[in-house]
Amino acid sequence: DETHNVAYIAMEIEGMSCNSCVQHIENSVFELPSIYYIRVSLQQRKADIFYASGQITTEEISETITDAGFDVKIMNTRNSNNAIGDVADKVLSMNASDSENNVSGTIQASTVPDTQHLKSSNGYDSNVESFNKSKDKRNTIIGIETDNKIAAAMKSFQMSITGMSCSSCVANIEREIRKKKGIVSIAVALLAERGEVTYDANLTTPTDIVNDVTDLGFGATIISSSDNSNEIELSIDNIINQSTVDEIETYLKGRPGITSAAVSLSSGHGIFGYDSSVTGVRDIIRALNDLGFPALVSAKDDPSKQLNHDKVIKRWRNTFLFSLLCFIPVVGILIASAAMKSTDKQVMVFPGLSLKNLLLLIAATPVQARCRFIFGCKQFYIMSYKALKHGAATMDVLIAMATTIAYVYSIAVIIVAAVMKPDRSPVTFFETTPMLVTFISLGRWLEHRAKRKTSEALSKLQSMQPTDAVLVELDSDDRIINEETISISYIQLGDTLKVLPGARIPADSYIIDGSSLVDESLITGEFMSVSKSKGDIVIGGTINESSVLIIKACRVGVDTTLSQIVRLVQDAQTSKAPVQLLADKIAGYFVPGIIILAIITLATWIFIGFENIFAIKSDFDPSVDNKTEVIMEFAFLCSISVLAIACPCALGLATPTAVMVGTGVGAQLGVLIKGGLPLEIAHKVSVVVFDKTGTLTQGKPRVKETLLVDNGILDYNRLIALAAAAESNSEHPLGSAIVQYAQQKMNMSYLGKTSNFESATGFGIRCHVSESRNVIDLDHGNTSCDVRDVVIGNRHWMKANGISVNAIFHEKVCIRENRGMSVVLAAVDGLLAGAFVITDTIKDDAGYAINCLRQMNITVVMATGDNKRTADAIAKQINIDAVYANVKPSDKIAKVRSLQSSKNTVAMVGDGINDSPALAQADVGIAIGSGTDVAIEAADIVLVKDKLMDVVTAIDLSRTTMQRIRWNYFFAIIYNIICIPTAAGVFKPVGFVIHPWMASAAMAASSVSVVLSSLWLKRYVKPTNKAGFAKRWHKSSSVRYAKLIETVGGNNYGSDLSDTDDDISSPITKQLLNV
C-alpha cells in the first residue's frame, strides 16, 4: 500500500440553503484528485475535508467550492501521516461474522498510527470519523473512535415548548438558544411542540436551557433525556437537607446498573438512569427503602395528552367566546350605521363624537385592554414584547401592531375632533380590534383542533402502552403461587407476567405457557390477528384476544418495540425536511418585511392623496370633506389591512403538518420513516437496489442436494460431517443451512472440532477440522489423518486457495445455478470434494412489488454475492431489470456510488450486517424489520413487517406527501401574493378595497386551509392492484427509463471466474483474494 501524507481542513461555507447545495459541494470536491473524505454540514455551515497534502492544495479545494457558487472561509488545518489505504480496505471489507459493535462501531486508534485530535469550529476536539467518501449518515457505520471525555460531556434532552404560533417563533427560539454557551445543536418542532437540544454538560444544564426558552416568552418543561437510556423519576420521602441528597446520590451511583442519579432537595424527587439488563425500578426503590428513604414512582401525565393540544385549544376557545361577546355588538352597530347612511345623518353625543363611535369604543376597549381578568389582546402584547426584546418579530407582533394602531388612531382622531368640535364625527377603526381578535382566535382554535388530528397516529401509539401488569411467581412445576398487580413502570427484565384475554401485553416478552390470538394491527398494520404459542415473541402494547398467556419480559422501558417506534416517529416529526429550511428562512424575514411594507403603504397613499385626492375619493367635495382626514383614513386603512392579512403561519405550517401526518400514517401502515429528510428524498428515487438473501428471498435457505466429485476423495457422510463442523463457526445463512442439514441427516449434534478458522466475507471459510470418532469412515479403509484442511465457498475462494474445478463437475454446478439455486463448493486437503446445492424461496409479494416499482418508473436492481447464473435465474422469475452478481459487501458500496454518479437517486433495501454500509451509502436506506439491529440503525426507513410491498408503500407515501407539501406551498404563496397587494389598495382604481376586519378573516382562513390540506393525507391508502396505480406516477420520460435500463443492465458487476469473462472485482476484493 502507498503511504500518503493525510491533511485535514475545516471550512466555513456560506450560501447553502438546502440539501441539494450540500450534495453539489460534495460532488464538486469529490471530482478533485486525492480527496479521501468530505462531510458538509448544512446546519453548522461547515465542511470537514481530508486530502493528500502533497497532491492538492487548500487553495484548489477552496476555489472549487467558490466556483460552485458558495463563499468559503478556511477555519483551520492539520496534518497527520497515516497509511489510509489499510484503513479504507479494513472499513470496506467488514466481516459478516463480526459483532454488531465491530460493524457499526469504531476503528480503534491503533489501526491508524499517530491519529491526532482535530479542533472543530465549535471548539470541541474530534477524531476523524471516516476516510470513506460519504455523507453524515454514513458515519454511524464507518467511523473512528471519539474522544471519551468529549463524548461523555455531550448530552441531549427533549423539552416540551408551548406558546409557539408560527415558524417565526421556531426560528426565534433556535436562533437565540444557539447563541447560549455550551449549545451544540437545537431542533424545534412547531406542531409537536417539542425541542431537542444537544449540549456540553460542562458548560450548561437542561434547567438553564429551559429557563432561557422561558425568558423568550414560551412555556418549556423537560420531557426526557435523548440518549436512549432508561430513566425513572421517583418521589422520595425523608429528604431533609443537602447531606441526605448527597448520601442518596453517592449510594445509588455505586450500585451495579445505575448510570446516573440526580436528586432535588426542593421537590423531593429524584431521576435515576439505569441499565435494564442489570437492574430495574423495583431494585432502585428497594435500595432506597433499605437506606431509609421510602420512594414511589412519580405520577406523570399521559404523554399522549401533550399531543392533544387540549390546554391551548381550551384557551383559544375561551378567547374566541369572549371576543365574540364584543364582536356581535360591533356587527350590530355597523349594520345599523349602514342602514342610517342613506339619511346622511349622524347621531351626535356631543360635537366631534357620534353615538356610533362611542358604542364602538365601548365594545373595543375590553378586548384591547390588557387587564388581568380580561384576556383580549393581552397574550399578543406579552409575546410581542418578549420577541422584540430579543430582536425577533413574530406573527404576534403583526397582530399587536394592527390592533394597537387601529385603536390608538381612532382615539387620536376622536380627541382631535372633540377639540375642534366639527359637525361630523370622524371615521374610526374601533371595530378592527374586536373583529380581528375574534377571527384570529377562531382561526387559532380551529387550527389547533386540526393540528390535534395531525398527531393522532402518534397519540394512538402512545396510548397503546398499558398502565399496569400482573406479576406472578411460579413454582418448580410452573404453577402460579403468587400474583400481584403492579404499575407498568415497575416491570423488570426477566419478570414473569400473566396476560388475561382482552388485556394489552405489558412489555416485549416470549410466551412460556399458553397460546392465543394477538392483535398486532397498530404495530404492523395487519388487521388479521396472529396466532401465538409457547416460545413465540409477543410485542408490548398488542392485545391478547382469546386465552390466558404466561410470558417472561425480554425487553422493558425504552428498549421495547413500541417505545422505539414511538421514538422514531417523534424524531421524524421533530426533524425538518430540507424543503422546510427555506420556508423557515423566509419566515424569519417575513414579519419585518411586512412591517416595512405597511409603512411604505402608509407613506405611498399619503403622498398619492395629497397629489391627487380623487385617486382616493372620486366624489371628494372640498366644501364637505376634510382632505387630510380622508387621506389619513384611507392610508391607515390600507396599512392596517396589510398588517392584518399577512400570514407567515401558512408558509410555516405547509411542510411540518404534512410531514407529521405522513410519518404518522406511515407508522400505522408499518413504515417507519426517520425524519423529514428521507421522506423528501424518497420521492426522487429512480433506482432501487435489492439485496437477495433475506430480502427478496425468505432468508431461510435449505440444502436440497449434495454433489460428490467422481474421484472417491470422500463419501457422502464424511463430506457432510466435515462441512458442517467447519460451518458451525460461521454466521452465514448458507453455512447455517449446511449445519442444520448435517444434524438432521446424521442425527448428531457434534460433528468435529475446528481450529485456525478463517472467514472472508463474500468468499467463504477455511479451517482445520478434527473429525469426530462417531462419524463412520467408509473411505475404503484408508488411514487418513484426523485433522483435515477444509475450504468451503464460491469459485473465487477456491481459485484463491489454489483449488481447481474440473469441467464435468463444473457443468453439474452450472445446471443447478441456471435453475436459481446456490451452490457452495467444498474442498478437503487441497482437493475439491463436492458441493451443496442450496435453495431459498422467493417471497410471495416480491414479483408484485417489483412490478409496482417498474410502474412507478423506477429501475429495479439486485445486488448479491451469489454467482451470476443463480442471480439471473431469480431475476427472471420476478422481472428484475439488472443484476449485479458476485458482489461483496465493499463492492455494494461501489455499485451504489456508481449509480449515484449517474445522477440517480438510489434506494438500497437490505436486512443483514453486510448490507449496512450500502444502506448508509444510499440516498435512502430501507431496512426490513426482520433484519439485524445494525441494518435497522443504518437505514433511513424501517419496514416493521417482512413485506416487500411496503417498499412500494414507502416511496408512494413519500411522493404523495411531497405532492401535498407542494400544494400547501402553492396555497400559502398565492395567498400572500394576491392578498397583500389587495390589502395595500392596489385595486383601489377599480373600486375594490378590503377593510382590516376582512383581512383578519382571510388571514385566519389561510392557516386553517393549509392544515386541512395536510389532513387530506389521512385518507392515504396503500398501493393495491388497481388500474389507476400505473397512471398515477407514470409521468417521467420513458426514453430516460430505457436509457437507464441499458446503462445499468449492460454492466453485470462481477463475473464467474470459472468462465472466460474477466474478473472486474474491485481493487479491495482483489487485494483480499491476494492475501
For residue 406, how far is the Cα from the chain centroid?
45
Answer yes or no: are the C-beta atoms of 170 and 190 closer than 8 Å: yes
Catalytic one of 396, 571, 691, 891: 691
Cell numbers representing residue 241 in the block: 437537607
Answer yes or no: are the C-beta atoms of 381 and 400 closer than 8 Å: yes
Give the C-alpha separation, 316 to 600, whole Å: 33
Answer yes or no: are the C-beta atoms of 103 and 89 closer than 8 Å: no
For residue 152, how far is the Cα from the chain centroid?
24
Give the C-alpha separation, 674 to 637, whole Å: 48
Answer yes or no: are the C-beta atoms of 1001 and 441 closer than 8 Å: no
Answer yes or no: are the C-beta atoms of 177 and 206 closer than 8 Å: no
Active site residue 691: yes
Say which amino acid occupies 1033.
W
Q: List 549's β-bridge partners, or say none.
A: 499
Phi, psi torsion values for 115, nearest 5 degrees:
-65, 130
β-pairing, 924-928 vs 941-943, is parallel
Consecutive H or E run containing 650: helix 648-668
CA dihedral 732→737→739→745, nearest 10 degrees, is -170
> 310-340 and 355-368 helices cross at what angle (nearest 10)?
170
In sequence order, what E strands does 396-506 have? Answer: 468-474, 480-487, 496-499
Residue found under cell 400481584 = 484
C-alpha dist (Å) from residue 25 to 72, 135, 480, 704, 1034: 11, 11, 65, 52, 31
Sorted by sequence, the CB contacts under 8 Å of residue 1036 that are 6+ apart come out as 857
In sequence order, what E strands does 915-1055 have? Answer: 924-928, 941-943
Give the C-alpha separation, 681 to 18, whole Å: 12
Give the C-alpha separation, 323 to 438, whole Å: 5
Q: List 839's β-bridge partners, or say none.
A: 702
Three-state SS across 1018-1032? HHCCCCCCCCHHHHH
Give the C-alpha separation, 651 to 1006, whole Å: 9
Give the C-alpha separation, 335 to 266, whole Å: 59
Catalytic residues: 691
